[in-house]
Amino acid sequence: MTTRVTIDTMGAGGDGVAMTSEGQVFVPFTLPGEVANIAREKSRGTLMALIEASPERIDPACRHFEACGGCALQHWQENSYGDWKRGLVADALAGRRLNFTLEPLVPCAPHTRRRAVFAVRRTEQGVLFGFHRHQSHEIIDIHECVVTVPAIVERLADLRQLAALLAQGTKPFKLTVTATASGLDIAAVGCGLPETAKRRTLTTFMLEKSFARLTCEGEIIIEPRKPLIHFGKVAVQAPPGGFLQATAEAEEAMSALVMGHLAKTKRAADLFCGTGTFTFRMAEKMAVHAVETDAAALAALDHAARNTQGLKPITTERRDLFRRPLMMKELARFDGVVFDPPRAGAEAQAKEIAKSNVAKVAAISCSPVTLARDLAILTDGGYRIDRVIPIDQFLWSSHVEAVALLSKGR
């Protein structure tokens, strides 16, 4: 049985939202103003037929759109899509009653995502290699991806072959592929460790295809070349499965904003530093104390720092900033702080920064909601928000990055 609805607005998750007498219904792949027949199950709707299309609807860029759940909004005209994504940041910050001016959205171009996480499963018909269907465990076999860099897309056939070699039984697993300066870095999780004979086969295949590295369950199977990621002038040997900004272009935009804000800083702390996304750019101009809980990431950062000439001093500290944030007294030696936490944000750390007299703070986040919470803590402590810049690092998805730049007079 189908129900006819009118889509009233776009939800924060990228689904069209219809207001009905029985409450909200979220309908993927629809746009505000559209009339559609849907199959409804509680608050979820499946688009069965589009009766009246929005004038803002455009042809999607990818043939897998609507089947593959990797993108939610390829069908929306660029300006309206950009306004909505910018609005995600505006609404989150306004909800905390913050005083801010939101700058224009920094756009994201297709074919720039440098990491892809593929789902793999062996079936009787062969190996499925692709992405999950929207809100489903079903794997959609893909043959193109318009958000991912050509260095990965052009090797889909080879990656599918590799996935077939790794697949044991019918258990699904993940294959994370990262484009690095040295070639593709491939990490398999959930497929188990290969036995000796399979390792020889995998080694031969990896060498034949000129891939940089293969790890299974965190163990390096073969590494013909160290996967290198460049942060400014520094080449870092990426640890298996380590965090990396989704696109190099967004990383450059965020780094430029951070460096502009810290232009007069002499000594800064880079908190949740990862492998040095901001650390090494900062160290061209100032001394940096880099703090991170992930041992492998911090080791990669430290190794690169020790083997690169021409940088200001870099010190490192392994520390869980959720449990043990840098305290107000520890922050007293810095005149700048950068923090780029996971989606959970940096509530405990923000409380300590708020009590400090650090002159310049740059907050980077992929979650507008937790960013707004952390900014509210900082402004309650006397900081003013100088700039907020939304960055569309996750093209055609419901995710958005944001950089907030704050100051406090001593």
pLDDT in tens, 54-107: 999 999 999 999 999 899 999 999 999 999 999 999 999 999 999 999 999 999
Active site annotation includes 68: no
pLDDT of residue 168: 86
Q: Which domain holds residue 38?
A: 3-57
* Residues 298, 214 share a domain: no
Position 151 pLDDT exceeds 80: yes
State the DSSP H helix or E strand holding residue 4, giving kind and residue range, or none if neither: strand 3-6
d(CA 70, CA 396): 9
Do residue 38 and residue 141 come from a single domain? no
Total domains, the chain: 3
Average pLDDT over residues 184-209: 96
Write the pLDDT tens digit of every residue in 249-296: 999 999 999 999 999 999 999 999 999 999 999 999 999 999 999 999
Q: What is the mean pLDDT of residues 12-34?
A: 95
pLDDT of residue 2: 87
Count of beta carbons in the 10 Å neighbourhood of residue 60: 17
Residue 75: predicted pLDDT: 97
- Whether 284 maps to a domain, the answer reads yes
pLDDT value of residue 410:
59
Say if 238 falls within a structural domain. no
Size (the chain), residues: 410
Asked if residue 19 and residue 92 are part of one domain, the reply reads no
CATH number at residue 199: 2.40.50.1070
Say if 330 falls within a structural domain: yes
The per-residue pLDDT for range 387-410, each reduced to its tens digit, is 999 999 999 999 999 999 999 985
Residues 252 and 291 in one domain: yes
205 annotated as a binding-site residue:
no
pTM for the whole thing? 0.94
Question: Are residues 159 and 302 both part of a single domain?
Answer: no
Residues 360-388 have a mean pLDDT of 98
* Tens of pLDDT, residues 109-127: 999 999 999 999 999 888 9
For residue 347, being part of any structural domain is answered with yes
- The CATH number given to whatever domain includes residue 358 is 3.40.50.150
The reply to whether 67 falls in a domain is no
Q: Angle 347-355/368-380 helices, nearest 10 degrees? A: 20
Read off the amino acid at residue 284: E
User: In this predicted structure, what is the pLDDT of residue 8?
Assistant: 97
Residue 263 lies in a domain: yes
Q: How confident is the model at residue 135 (pLDDT cuts 50, 70, 90)?
A: confident
Going by their DSSP bridges, the two strands 287-292 and 267-271 should be labelled as parallel
**132 and 194: one domain?**
yes
- Residue 375 lies inside a defined structural domain of this protein: yes
User: Residue 222: enclosing H or E segment and its boundaries?
Assistant: strand 219-222
The rounded distance, in Å, linking the Cα atoms of 366 and 345 is 9
* 379-385, long-range: CB < 8 A, 24+ apart: 379/98, 379/99, 379/406, 380/354, 381/351, 381/353, 381/354, 381/355, 381/408, 382/354, 382/408, 383/354, 383/407, 383/408, 384/99, 384/408, 385/98, 385/99, 385/100
Q: Kindly state the percentage of the chain with pLDDT values over 70.
A: 100
* CATH code: domain of residue 22: 2.40.50.140
Options 62, 145, 273, 366, the catalytic residue = 366
272 assigned to a ligand binding site: yes
Output the pLDDT for position 263. 96
Over residues 145-174, mean pLDDT: 95
Q: Are residues 175 and 316 in the same domain?
A: no
What is the average pLDDT score of the chain? 96
* Predicted confidence (pLDDT) per residue in 235-246, tens digit: 999 999 888 999
Q: Is the same domain home to 189 and 326?
A: no
Residue at which a domain ends, from 18, 42, 57: 57
DSSP state at residue 378: H
Is 173 part of any known ligand binding site? Answer: no
Say whether both 151 and 10 belong to one domain.
no
Q: CA 282 to CA 268: how far, in whole Å?
A: 8
Identify which of 51, 10, 3, 42 has the alpha carbon closest to the alpha carbon of residue 28. Answer: 10
Q: How far apart are CA 391 and CA 395, in angstroms?
A: 10
Write down the pLDDT at residue 241: 83
Name residue 9's amino acid: T
* pLDDT at 169 (0 to 100): 83
Residue 131 shares a structural domain with residue 248: no
Residues 248 and 384 grouped into a single domain:
yes
Q: Compute CA distances 269 → 19, 170, 334, whole Å.
A: 47, 47, 7
Is residue 358 in some structural domain?
A: yes
Say yes or no: 123 and 158 in one domain: yes
pLDDT above 90: percentage of residues in the chain: 94
| Contact residues for 110 (Cβ-Cβ < 8 A; gap 6+) | 61, 146, 147, 395
Q: Is 292 annotated as belonging to a binding site?
A: yes
Amino acid at 320: D
Instruction: Show which of 188, 203, 228 is a domain's final residue.
Output: 228
6 CB neighbour count, 10 Å cutoff: 16
Q: Taking residues 26-48, report their average pLDDT.
A: 95
b/e burial code for range 351-378 (CB count within 10 A of at least 16 → b)? bbbbebebbbbbbbbbbbbbbbbbbbbb
